[in-house]
Amino acid sequence: MALLDVTDLQVHFQTDRGVNRAVDGLSFSIDQGEALAIVGESGCGKSVTSMSVLRLLPMPPGRIAGDIRFRGESLANRSEREMRRLRGGEISMIFQEPMSSLNPVYTIGRQIGESVRLHTGASQREARERAIEMLGLVGIPSPEKRVDEYPHQLSGGMRQRVIIAMALACDPALLIADEPTTALDVTIQAQILDLLRDLRERTGTAILLITHDLGVVAEFAERVLVMYAGRKVEEASVADIFARPRHPYTQGLMNAVPKLGRARRDGTPEKLSEIPGRVPDLTQDIPGCVFAPRCPRAEAVCSRIDPALEQKAKGHFAACHFAPRETEKTDA
């Protein structure tokens, strides 16, 4: 049984221009201790998906349909009180911007400790000791001193470590990390990823990583799900998807990644590839494949028939009429 099982998730928002289908029929699962990455352009539905799991979206204007199961039990049937116990306890989340996730008027020790007391019933002293322990675990020096400091006294990298400490303080089974390294420089990014990898190996926590950075995906995840316009267009192991991306959108993302030393024959830097066009308006009905208007290989059938997500190789799925199968070659 999967730790988290999401089936046909649909998240729609009522807007002045109509219903925005932010997530449209998404299914995936995560096993205990696994690292799954969801990748795609901004606006593809990645963060909305993660917020839906914890029922953090405002409703209305949002509306959620489909089935989300954690340890085999539907989260839709849980009361708000039960969800509050689940959030930060069995499922924790790291948000994109640490300064917006930390209260500036409370010490970091108090903020970590409050989560511990809420979910474990620990005393104030025990919660403080746990906060110090977690600060040390995430690599913050002098945790006995830092525990009494305020968020503004810490660097961006340290604040992100505090967020991770807070998320892991109650030993969650699942950690949702929404762009955990976006606002950090590359050196700190590497440290944060090393930290998450080490903590996952030590604690067995499963991680759902939300990112647009394929470098982070290659560095951290075991399996990757590619989203476009609210839908899953490809899913495979990280090794397979980097070696043989089968969907034209995934191939476009791969080609747009800067490569060290890539240059023209005359020695001038090679211009980065880009995906032409723009993401479709999700308030409009989209006949056929959602990627067809931007796809270099689109044919007439693509604008008429929406391709099903099919297995193209062992453990490798893609939603494209012309995605190559096991014995065929890709153009990537």
Residue 265 lies in a domain: no
Q: Does one domain contain both 44 and 171?
A: yes
pLDDT (tens digit per residue) in 38-94? 999 888 999 999 999 999 988 888 899 999 999 999 998 888 888 988 888 899 988
The answer on 245 and 214 residing in a single domain is no
User: Per-residue pLDDT for 139 more than 70?
Assistant: yes
Q: What mean pLDDT comes out for the span 162-182?
A: 86
- Helix, strand, or coil (residue 155): coil
Contact 210, 178 (CB under 8 A): yes
| 263 DSSP 8-state letter | B
Under a CB-based contact definition with an 8 Å cutoff, are residues 227 and 45 in contact? yes
Same domain assignment for residues 209 and 235:
no
Q: Are residues 210 and 304 in the same domain?
A: no
> Quick one: which of 21, 61, 48, 67 has its CA closest to 290?
21
Total number of domains constituting the chain: 2
Using CA of residue 139, residue 140, residue 145, residue 151, what is the dihedral sign?
A: negative
For the cut 90, the answer to whether the pLDDT of residue 308 exceeds it is: yes
56 and 14, same structural domain?
yes
Element housing 213 (H / E): none
Instruction: Name the H helices within the chain.
Output: 46-53, 80-86, 98-101, 108-120, 124-137, 143-146, 156-168, 186-203, 214-220, 238-243, 248-255
Which pLDDT score, from 0 to 100, does residue 113 have?
Answer: 92
Looking at the domain assignment, is residue 315 inside a domain? yes
Lowest mean pLDDT among 63-67, 98-102, 107-111, 319-323: 98-102
Domain for residue 21, yes or no? yes
Domain match, 59 and 94 both: yes
Domain range for 304:
223-257+273-332
CATH number assigned to the domain comprising residue 94: 3.40.50.300
Does 210 reside within a domain?
Answer: yes
Q: Are residues 217 and 238 in the same domain?
A: no
Is residue 266 a part of any domain in this protein? no
Together in a domain, 144 and 230: no
The answer to whether residues 200 and 35 touch, using CB atoms and an 8 Å cutoff, is yes
Whether residue 267 is contained in a domain is answered as: no
Same domain, 142 and 205: yes
* Shared-domain flag, residues 303 and 194: no
* Average pLDDT along the chain: 88
d(CA 279, CA 264): 30
Q: Do 100 and 188 reside in the same domain of the chain?
A: yes
| Claim to verify: residue 70 and residue 209 sit in the same structural domain | yes
pLDDT bracket for residue 327 (50, 70, 90): low
Flag whether 50 is in a domain: yes
* Tally of residues, the chain: 332
